[in-house]
Structure formats: C-alpha cells, structure tokens
Amino acid sequence: MRSDVLSQACQLGKHVRLPFHSSDSIVDSVFDISHSDVWTSPISSFGGFKYYVVFLDHYSHFLWVYPLRQKSDVFAKFLQFRAYVKTQFNCDIKSFQCDHGGEFDNSATHDLFASNGIQFRFSCPKTSQQNGKSERMLRTINNVIRTLLFQAHLPPKYWAEALHMATHLLNILPSTSINNETPFTKLFGKPPSYSHLRVFGCLCYPHITPSHKLSPRTTPCLFLGYPSNHRGYRCLDLSTHKIIISRHVTFDESGFPFGSMTPTSPPSYDFLDHSVDSSPISRRLLMTPSMYPTSATPPSPADQHNPIPTEPPPSCWESQVQKHTCSG
C-alpha cells in the first residue's frame, strides 16, 4: 500500500496536534505589537477584584496590569491604556495579539480597530500557544505573586496588592526575552533605579502628623508597595485598615506582621494556578533585608491618609525620563 495515501480511518483514530514553530514576529519599535490576556481569580481580592488584564509590549517587554471587578471592563481598560500610549509616546498601537475571548472578540473592539487601522491578531480557537507571550507572562506574574504572598505570610485576598508589586519588579529586572536588558530601559531609554525597593509585606512605620503633642508619631503598618502617582510608599495601617501614603517611612524588613497571625495551617495559594500552568521564574525577585537601609525618604508630595483605593492605577512606576517613541 502506498505510504503517501492519506487514510481517513487513520486520521480519525490517530490525529494529533501539529507542532508549533518559533514565532518569526520581528518588531522595530515600541507598540508595533501589543499582547493581551485576562486572568480570572476564584478568590476576590482585598479591594473586590476578580480579574486582571495584562498588556505587554512586544518590543520592550514592558507590561501594564489593571485589576478588574468585571470582565466587561476590559474594553474600557484598553481605551485607557491606548490613551496613555498615544499621549506619552506620541504613537498608536499597530497590532494587537489576543485570544478569541469575548472581552476582545466583540463588535465594539472590532469597530474601534477597523476605524483606527489597528491590526487584530487572534490565536486559533483552543490554541493558547499562539498567544504564548501573554500566556507565559500571566504564568510568570502569578508565580511572583505566590512568592511574595508566601514570604509575607499574607492571606490570598491580598493577591491584587502583590500583583502590582510583581509587575513593578518584572518591569525593572533583566529579562532573557530582550537579551537581559530591563523592560524599563528598553521603553524609557535609561536604567531603572533600585534604591526605593523594599521587602513586600514587611513591617513599616510611616510618619503621621500627630493630633496633639503627646500623640504617637507613627503607627505599625504593612508595606504594600508603591503608588503610581506619588514618590512614596503604600502602608496599610494595621489598626484602621486604611492606606497611608508617605515619603517618610522606616522599615523593619525582617519583620512580617502577618507572620504572627498565620493560622496553624498556612494559607493555600493554589488558586493562582487557576487557568495557568506552572513554570519556573526566570528572574530573581525577592530582595534580602540587608540589601537596603532601614529608612527612606524619597521625594513626594506631603503625607496623605487615604482609604484603600477601589481602582488602583496600573503598576508601572512611571518616571519623568526620556521615553522611546515610535518610529516612522
């Protein structure tokens, strides 16, 4: 029997998925291709978020994340992200890579892209490998979130806080995807600063304005990261559960307030594997306490006492530096 004759019976009984080849996408500038995907959490976050959407620039590997309460908010977040790109980088997104999820594959998005000349690049149904860059980024982000929560002994509901820290770290650490450059350098044209880094979830003491002369000048807090619109630190007041944003903070990076509150059985972070396969982390993300001084005073506006934000801004720690603008 001829070996080159295609047997229908064999195809029906033995058909397998074809191998995937390396991507041949070549980009010359930022936002030539933007990748996106959405992750769904089975656990609501401290601020009531159930999803997050990630936007990844193919050229710089810089990423932006937006926590979401509803999946239908994805389109609004894309409009917000695109407006940021157009204003800050004086260019538009040229191609957009995503899967066939309803949050992307809908008439509003199709009409917007068609009227603005943005190319849609869909992965085939049931073929997440074709959206591999953003799929791998989701996996990496969630691995970092898990590591941060483990170290700080934090309950799973703090995943959105750890999400912003993970994104910030990934943006300023070297990436093998861009020849060990940092995404920050590729996007903004200068090296990132590391002097502000502190251990996520550690004990900290922000300066507070006393109500009278004998009032305490600080209160024990949990360090939760960096606000995107202040040069300071986000500190969770352990007694009032409100966020204090301050530039004058002293850190105890060997102390973790939730460590002493941890129940007999440690919390499980298996929910971070929801729709995401596990893989090793390729960058060193946790900083040891000895690497940094115990206090810091980064320049920022006056101290502020704010409630926990209901809509955190994207984690990008934007700086007033020379930005990489689009070619052409």
pLDDT in tens, the chain (328 residues): 455 666 666 655 555 555 545 555 677 899 999 999 999 999 999 889 999 999 999 999 999 999 999 999 999 999 999 999 999 999 999 999 987 677 888 899 999 999 999 998 866 555 544 446 768 899 999 999 999 999 999 999 999 999 999 999 999 999 998 999 999 999 999 999 999 999 999 999 999 887 777 778 899 999 999 988 888 999 999 999 999 999 999 999 999 998 876 566 678 888 888 665 444 444 444 444 333 334 444 433 333 333 333 333 444 433 333 455 565 5
Nearest to 183 by CA among 311, 55, 12, 91: 55
* Side-chain half-sphere CA neighbours of 34 within 13 A: 22
For the chain, the residue count is: 328
> How far, in Å, are 120, 146, 189, 266 from residue 260 at the CA level?
50, 19, 43, 11
- Indicate the pTM of the whole model: 0.77
Is residue 54 within 8 Å of 183, Cβ to Cβ? no
User: For the chain, first and last CA: distance in Å?
Assistant: 58
Residue 318 near residue 183, CB atoms below 8 Å = no
